[in-house]
Amino acid sequence: MRIAFFSDTYHPSVDGVVRSIDLFKAGLEAKGHEVRVFAPEGRGGFERREGAHYAPSAVFPPYPQYRIPYRTGGLVDEAVGWKPDIVHSHAMLLMGFAAKEAAKRCRAPLVGTFHTLIPSAMHYLTGHEGLRLWGADMSWRYLTWFYGGFDQVIAPSLFMQAELSLHGIKSAVVASPVDVEEFKPGRVGPAVKKIFSDDGKKNAVLYLGRIAKEKNLDFLLDVAATRSFDELKAPLLVAGDGPYKEEFARKIAARGLAGKVRLLGRVDERWIAQHYRAASAVILPSAFETQGLVALESMACGTPVAALRGTALEEIVRPKVNGALFFDDPLEAAERLRQIIRNRKKLSEGAVRSARALDVAHQTQRLLQAYALVKKKEKRGGKKRQTGP
C-alpha cells in the first residue's frame, strides 16, 4: 500500500507525534509498504528528509518550536499525484485539512490519530482563566466536528478512547510503538555518567520531555522541596527544551532549589537512551499525555517510571511491576520515588518486559489491521478511486 502521513509537526522539531510517525513509517516500510510524510517545512536551512514533502511555514509565536503551514495546495497536489491508498492524518489543524482534501480528491480512506489534547493547551492563547475554559469547550466542539468526516479515528490509549467517547468521537485503540532496538538496557558513556554524578550522589531522578507549562513541571519543584526528597540524596535532572524553560529556571532560583534541581537543556537524540539508563527513576507529573512515549522509552531502557494517577500513563505504569503511581501530592510522589529506587532491580526487569509488548512490529501490525478495516468498509461502500489528480 501507499500511505500518506500528514502532520502539523515534523523534523527538525521532535516530539511524541514525530517519534510516532518515524516509528510507524519504519515499521510499515519494513513490511513492504510505501510511506510519505507531508508536513510544514522547518526554519531556513533545515535538513529535508527522504520521503517527506513540505509546505511553506511561519513560526508560531507562542511556541517557536512549532511552525504554521501556509499555501498547502501544492502539497495536496503532490499527495494526490502520488495516489495513496490510505491518507493518515496525524494533524488536527491546517495539515489536517490538507489531509482531508487529499483523501477527498484521491477517494482514499481517511484515518486520523488523536495525538494532542489541544483543549488543555489554551494557555498558549490567553492568560484569562474564563477564556481558557471557554477555549477548551470550543476546542472540543471543533475536534468533534473535525473528526466527523474521518473513516477511522485512532486513539493511542484506552484513556483517550474513553475521553473521545465523552465528546461523541468513536475511535479504535492503536498505541504508538517504542523502538526496543534503540531503547534497551546497555552502557552509559563517561560523558553522560558525569552529568548524572556531577554532585557525587549515587542516585538521580530524571524528567525528560518538553519544558512546557501543560506538563505540570511546577509539581516537580514541589516534590524537590519536600524533606522526603532530601532523604533520597538524589538530584532532580530536567532534560528538554520548550517555551516554559526560562520561567521554570526563574522559579527554581526563586525557591532556592538550584542545588536540587538542574536543567540539562535539550538532549541530542543520540544520547537520550543513555540518559534513561543513567537515571535511578523517571518522573512524569503531566496530565496532558494521550499515551506517554517517554515512559515507554524509559522502561525499555530498564528504568522504572513514577507517574501521575488518573492519566493515560496509568495504562503503562504498573505499581510493583515497572514503576509507581502517585496522586497530585508531592509527599506521596517523593515516597513513590523512594520505593522505586529501593526496588529498582526488580522493577527494571518488569519495565523492560512491559515495553517490549509495544514494540514497532506489534504496533505496526495493529495499525495495518485498522487500515484493513477501513479498506473493507470502502469496498463494501463501493467507493471508487480516482485515476488521476
Instruction: Output the domain CATH number for residue 291.
Output: 3.40.50.2000
Tell me how many degrees the CA angle 166-172-178 measures, rounded to the nearest 5.
115
Burial profile 29-67: b = 16 or more Cβ within 10 angstroms, e = fewer: eeeebebbbbbbbbeeeeeebeebbbbebeebeebebbb
> Would the pLDDT of 384 be above 80?
no
Nearest-angstrom CA–CA distance, 161 and 290: 9
CA dihedral 315, 320, 322, 325 (to 10 degrees): 50
Within a domain: 170 = yes
Whether 188 and 32 have beta carbons less than 8 Å apart is answered as: no
Instruction: Tell whether 225 and 117 lie within a shared domain.
Output: no
Within a domain: 143 = yes
| Residue in this structure with the C-alpha cell 526496543, named with its chain if needed | 180
pTM: 0.89
Q: Which domain holds residue 304?
A: 190-356
Within a domain: 315 = yes
Domains in the chain, number: 2
Residue 319 CB contacts under 8 Å (≥ 6 apart), including other chains = 325
Instruction: Tell whether 312 and 341 lie within a shared domain.
Output: yes
Within a domain: 386 = no
Q: What is the mean pLDDT of residues 310-337?
A: 97
Instruction: Tell whether 293 and 229 lie within a shared domain.
Output: yes
User: What is the per-residue pLDDT across 178-234, written as a single tens digit (0 to 9) for each?
Assistant: 999 999 999 999 999 999 987 778 899 999 999 999 999 999 999 999 999 999 999
Instruction: Tell whether 330 and 372 lie within a shared domain.
Output: no
| Longest pairwise C-alpha distance within the chain | 68
User: What is the per-residue pLDDT across 193-202, written as a single tens digit (0 to 9) for each?
Assistant: 999 987 778 8
Within a domain: 42 = yes
Within a domain: 184 = no
